[in-house]
Chains A and B, each alone.
Chain A
Amino acid sequence: MTDAVPGAKPSADAAKPARPAGPPPSKPIPTPTDANRPFFAGCAEGVLRLRRCLECGRHHAPTRAACDCGSVAFEWVQVAGRGTVFSHTVVHRAPDPAFRADLPYVIAIVEFDEGGRLMSNLVNCAPDAVRVGMPVKAVFETVAEGVGVVKFEPA
């Protein structure tokens, strides 16, 4: 049990990135589904949509299929995209070479004025200047045809 086994997988193989060599590293792009397309398509159109409960009116992130009140009936609604920083971090070590050029960058959880929260990047802001409670507003990036992501900047 304690002997090294000939032919065992060399560790270097497992450490190789999954992506093939060649093209420059690219950030992951959301792959919308029927369940969340209004969110990602909205971001490509410069519109922020959240899921609003038809029973109690709470706003939720796109990941939610049931409300705190128990309802599973939702509609997509456009929100103003304004809110405050709930928490934040400054990333100094990237998860992928695609993010290296951005270092250091800010990730924040943003709480919308209407309710509901999302996690994203906080941009156009010095990383050291970010504070909990800071007002922010949505900005959008189109990352593929009909697919966008929402980020935030100081309001």
Chain B
Amino acid sequence: MYGSIAFAGVGEAAVGTERVRTAQDLAVEAALAAMADAGIGPRDVDGVITASPAGDPHFMFSSLVTEALNIPARINTAIQDAGASPCMGVLYAARAIAAGEAHTVLVCESDSRGARFKGDKIQAMRAARPWTDDYEDPFGLTVPGKYALIAQRWMHRHGGRPEDLAAVGVAAREHARRQPHAPKRDPLTVEAILASQPIAAPLRALDCCPVADWGGAVIVTTLERARDMRQPAVRLLGGGEGHGPYHLNENDDLPPGAARQSAEAAFGIAGVKPSDIDTAQVFDAFSIAALIAMEELGFCERGQAGRLFADGHTALGGSIPTNTTGGMMTWGNAHIIVLPEAVRQVRGDAGINQVHGAKLALAHGIGGPMSLSCTLILGQ
């Protein structure tokens, strides 16, 4: 399967909340952009895999997208792997294509959190779901709190400092600043991050991504079909999943092992190693997530990721340019942001933040507080 599955198109919905769009609208907008990029239409697609939006939760969300686009779907499902959903969706699409159950699959993720969750974002997001967890909810746990528990353990084990966490936001802003349409273009300093509002110690406001609307989509198909489409084909060379417990207290240790498991599987299949990767697009909804991603994916030793970001290794021209869009730290919790960017980097059309000569890209997602993880390796 790997090597003979390809990305044929990528696209995003326009950024911003000035217009009224549901998660379905955002998915459709992104899907049309990805199809246009590939030079195909909805009737050329025969599979749909979506994530499950929090802003407009809807039973069988993928069927809404299939309906809106009138896609003659042979496979259709909405997966619930949170921040890993887009990368996991690609894996499921690849498996379906390899099994002959579909030939061209739309994988998309969209959410309307920016439009729907007003005021106190933490409270608004929590209020969008019922109290369901008798082992977390009674104690006032938040999503940032989960990542904070991971961060505190990481700092304890490795002597990590708040400055290590802050290095992620500073690096993200440097990538964002070069882009004319980025939401924030002024320089961001470690001091400013350390002075931002505490959310769940050791995480502060600027350790957490903004809450936004987003829509992103990729077209996954056979290499053969992709070669007949509009854009240069980008191959899926390897992929892997990692899984562990849902509840943080049930992990043998923190960080959970899912990211490392997914990376080892993906690198093994692709037959490459971390030092071969030209650019990494990793999950960075929280600063600690990006630090742990870089360590667990094998780009540095455990405990060293703060230095990796602070010393410019993740910048353009560094050893592993990372989250070249500015990531979720810049654009909000659009988990799928990793996929179009990884594809564009390999195609050589990533624009102002193109990594010169990029041939191999890694895309990565994390679901829950690192309960599950997915790593993909893309190449020419």
Give me the interface of A with B, judged by CB distance under 8 Å: 1-2, 4-5, 8-9, 11-12, 14-18, 27-32, 36, 40, 61-64, 86-97, 99, 102, 104-105, 107, 109, 117-121, 127, 132, 143, 149, 151
Closest chain-B Cβ to A18's Cβ sits at a distance in Å of 6
Indicate if the CB atoms of A14 and B128 lie closer than 8 Å.
yes
Indicate if the CB atoms of B198 and A95 lie closer than 8 Å.
no
B43 is an interface residue with CB less than 8 A from chain A: no
Contact with A along B246-287 (1 / 0, CB 8 A): 011110001000000000000000000000000000000000
B350 is an interface residue with CB less than 8 A from chain A: no
Across-interface contacts of A64 in B (CB, < 8 A): 250
- Please give me the 6 A-B residue pairs with the lowest Cβ-Cβ distance, nearest first: A89-B148, A28-B131, A30-B134, A99-B140, A90-B201, A87-B153
Indicate if the CB atoms of B28 and A119 lie closer than 8 Å.
no
Closest chain-A Cβ to B201's Cβ sits at a distance in Å of 4
Give me the interface of B with A, judged by CB distance under 8 Å: 14, 19-22, 25, 28-29, 32, 55-56, 115-120, 122-124, 126-128, 130-131, 134-142, 144-145, 148-153, 156, 197-203, 247-250, 254
Please report the C-alpha to C-alpha distance between residue A99 and residue B325 in the assembled complex, in whole angstroms: 36
Closest residue on chain A to residue B157 by CB atoms: A132
Indicate if the CB atoms of B138 and A94 lie closer than 8 Å.
no
Indicate if the CB atoms of A8 and B153 lie closer than 8 Å.
no
Across-interface contacts of A27 in B (CB, < 8 A): 138, 140
5 pairs, CB–CB < 8 Å, chain A vs chain B: A29-B138, A61-B250, A89-B201, A90-B198, A143-B138
Across-interface contacts of A107 in B (CB, < 8 A): 139-141, 145, 149
With known contacts A14-B116, A87-B254, A119–B142 Cβ distance under 8 A: no
Indicate if the CB atoms of B20 and A8 lie closer than 8 Å.
yes
Across-interface contacts of A36 in B (CB, < 8 A): 134
Please report the C-alpha to C-alpha distance between residue A120 and residue B145 in the assembled complex, in whole angstroms: 12
Indicate if the CB atoms of A88 and B136 lie closer than 8 Å.
no
Indicate if the CB atoms of B118 and A61 lie closer than 8 Å.
no
Indicate if the CB atoms of B250 and A94 lie closer than 8 Å.
no
Closest residue on chain B to residue A109 by CB atoms: B249
Closest chain-B Cβ to A4's Cβ sits at a distance in Å of 5
Indicate if the CB atoms of A1 and B127 lie closer than 8 Å.
no
Closest chain-A Cβ to B25's Cβ sits at a distance in Å of 7
Across-interface contacts of A86 in B (CB, < 8 A): 153, 249, 254
Indicate if the CB atoms of A62 and B135 lie closer than 8 Å.
yes
Closest chain-A Cβ to B194's Cβ sits at a distance in Å of 14
Please report the C-alpha to C-alpha distance between residue A105 and residue B138 in the assembled complex, in whole angstroms: 13
Interface core residue of A61, A95, A109, A117 (most chain B CB under 10 Å): A95
Indicate if the CB atoms of B116 and A119 lie closer than 8 Å.
no
Closest residue on chain B to residue A149 by CB atoms: B138
Across-interface contacts of B198 in A (CB, < 8 A): 90, 92, 104
Closest chain-A Cβ to B284's Cβ sits at a distance in Å of 19
Question: Which one, B21, B118, B131, B149, contacts A88 given CB within 8 A?
Answer: B149
Indicate if the CB atoms of B249 and A118 lie closer than 8 Å.
yes
Interface core residue of B29, B138, B141, B153 (most chain A CB under 10 Å): B138
Across-interface contacts of B202 in A (CB, < 8 A): 89
Question: Which one, B119, B123, B153, B254, contacts A94 given CB within 8 A?
Answer: B123
Known interface pairs A86-B254, A117-B249, A132-B153; 16 further A-B residue pairs with C-beta atoms within 8 A, sorted by A's residue number:
A12-B118, A18-B127, A61-B135, A86-B249, A88-B152, A89-B148, A90-B201, A91-B142, A91-B145, A91-B148, A92-B197, A93-B120, A93-B197, A107-B140, A132-B152, A132-B156
Closest residue on chain A to residue B28 by CB atoms: A1
Closest residue on chain A to residue B154 by CB atoms: A87
Closest chain-A Cβ to B254's Cβ sits at a distance in Å of 6
Indicate if the CB atoms of A1 and B29 lie closer than 8 Å.
yes
Closest chain-B Cβ to A3's Cβ sits at a distance in Å of 8
